[in-house]
A and B are shown apart, each in its own frame.
Chain A
């Protein structure tokens, strides 16, 4: 049973426009959410995170929105750049205030930003 779902395997946007990547989760115990970016044949790199006590977190061109009632989060990239082309993974964890650091990942969304 997939607890973290990224229903769009791929997304294509034009350079300069907004990219919106979506993620849904089913486990109501999840209270910390992260986005990772991954290039082929490399390890994922941390992008941005959000705690369940917030509904928005911003870092430069990247903003993550969390809707707890809908169990939905989204990553907005504005403006999109060709270098943003990568696979984006949504991840979630339960018990962020304690010792449980185990992350559950979605299947990823391949973002392609066209020049």
Chain B
């Protein structure tokens, strides 16, 4: 059963700590994306990757880092440089535009 899996569903981070959000897909999609959702802000693109070992900054990349060592995996690290990390994070993958599939999201909270 193909899909895209994000883990964990809920994550708590202390001030000054780096955390990594996992995103795995078994859809054989080439492109993967990370979006952030804040109340009243819609979905904003953090990073995206169209092929393995290559990724591009989105609109709000500051304070985040990614890697794309495998086609199936696109982890997102929220670093201590991200001043307002509390948000709902969504990972997506696509083969073509109409194949844009989202994961179920990770809720990150700073404590």
A residues apposed to B, CB below 8 Å: 6, 9, 32, 34, 36, 41-46, 49, 89, 91, 93, 96, 99, 101-108
> Do A102 and B40 touch (CB < 8 A)?
no
Cβ contact within 8 Å between A106 and B42 = yes
Establish whether residues B42 and A43, one from each chain, have CB atoms under 8 Å apart when the complex forms.
no
**B contact residues vs A (CB 8 Å cutoff):** 4, 6, 31, 33, 35, 40-45, 48, 50, 58, 88, 90, 92, 94, 96-98, 100-105, 107
Tell me if B96 and A101 are in contact (CB < 8 A): yes
Supposing A101-B50, A105-B43, A108-B42 touch, asked if A43 and B31 sit within 8 A by C-beta, the answer is no
List the 9 closest pairs (A to B, CB-CB), nearest first: A43-B102, A107-B42, A105-B43, A105-B42, A101-B94, A101-B31, A43-B104, A44-B102, A43-B103
Query: Is the CB–CB distance between B98 and A102 below 8 Å?
Result: no
Are A46 and B40 CB-contacts (below 8 A) given A41-B105, A41-B107, A102-B48? no
